[in-house]
Amino acid sequence: MMAVCRILVVLVSLALACASATSVTINNTKLHHDVNGAIMDAHDGNIIQFTPKGPFYFYAMSYGDCHEADRGCGGHGGDPKCGFRTNHNVSVWSSPTLADGTWTYLGSALPVDKRPEAIYYRPKIKFNSATKKYVLWTNAVPASGFSGSFDVVATSDTPQGPFEVQNANATLNHPAPGDFDLFVDDDNTAYLIYTVVTEGHRMTIEKLAPDWLTSTHETSGFIGASFVESPALFKRKGIYYALFGHCCCFCQAGSGIGVYTSSSPLGPYSAGYNIGCDYNGTKGPFGCGVDGGFAITQAQQNCVFQVQTSGGAEWLWTGDRWQSAADKIKAHDFQYWTPLMFNDSATVPTIAKLQWIDSFTLEIE
């Protein structure tokens, strides 16, 4: 009788666990929509769940309804200023599940009139448990061009903002920072991985001060190949993964994804391997797309974020499919999302090469 009772308890526990999960299908052949059915103009930002079972927040650049050039930067046709305007909105949405049609627009996280005048890209937001502040870093490009780019740091008491600028030009080891990602370790120490535009678009990582508003100037040095951008940095099972690819300025082809690993956030990092394209060895290190052919996902890396599912933690890779909109409106460009698959039998778990999938389903806790 006791054995039967135990079995019943296990079955009831499993049923409750299944009931608590939400089945969510992500479809890469469709655009993302908010609760009102409007297309989400959301690009090159980050997605994060600040509390277990809490809402997901999607911070992203909104480029507007301009018609983009047909070859990205320096392309022909369309509006040459599309994607290069000073009024790009740093937008924020929230969703209980990530599902299409569940996103609520919360407004502008960093209002145009409350920030230095520049072209803004790649907002990243994390919560500092020591200062109890939500911290936003974003890249800014002045009228003089990318060689004068700088990072703006802002904070807020709430995840939706509005954020208030605390550091209008964060001093880093290298001037002219470009694409970047913000990573927070288990001990609440934050790190910035970023491209140095004026050093051949090389990648580097710096440790931030405890308030995350400035750099300590402790650095990894340069990592991997040159002419790279759009990095992501995350930690899984004690291993730090730095992912980035060949420069792809709003390019339609997408780019490869170089993977570098280390047991420390500041390295040293292992030699990279490519999970983003069918690289044939005749072009640049991770240059598929720009140098010829198409990346598997025809996307440029946006961010990697963690999701708790009924089967454990999953890491989702997201990328921007520039120039994918049928009507050529930049706000209507698609994204590509996919779970990363890890080979845990390897001494240092490796990430499998991405494959195109139209859709996938997650059981989100």
The per-residue pLDDT for 161 is 97
Under 8 Å CB-to-CB from 150, ≥6 apart: which residues?
Answer: 118, 139, 140, 142, 169, 170, 176, 177
The per-residue pLDDT for 213 is 98
The per-residue pLDDT for 108 is 97
CA dist., res. 138 & res. 113, Å (int):
15
Identify the sign of the CA torsion 63, 250, 197, 273. positive
Are the beta carbons of 322 and 290 closer than 8 angstroms? no
Q: Residues in the chain, how many?
A: 365
What is the number of other CB atoms lying within 10 angstroms of the CB of residue 100?
Answer: 17
Q: For the chain of 365 residues, list the mean pLDDT of each consecutive stretch of 10.
A: 42 47 96 98 96 97 89 66 93 98 98 96 98 98 93 98 98 97 98 97 97 98 93 98 91 88 97 78 50 77 96 97 93 97 96 96 96
The per-residue pLDDT for 33 is 98
Identify which of 35, 153, 147, 29 has the alpha carbon closest to the alpha carbon of residue 90: 153
CA dist., res. 116 & res. 120, Å (int):
10
CA dist., res. 334 & res. 325, Å (int):
7
Q: Which residues of 202-240 are buried (b: 16+ CB within 10 A; e: fewer)?
A: bbbbbbbeebbbbbeeebbebbbbbbbbbbbbbebeeeb
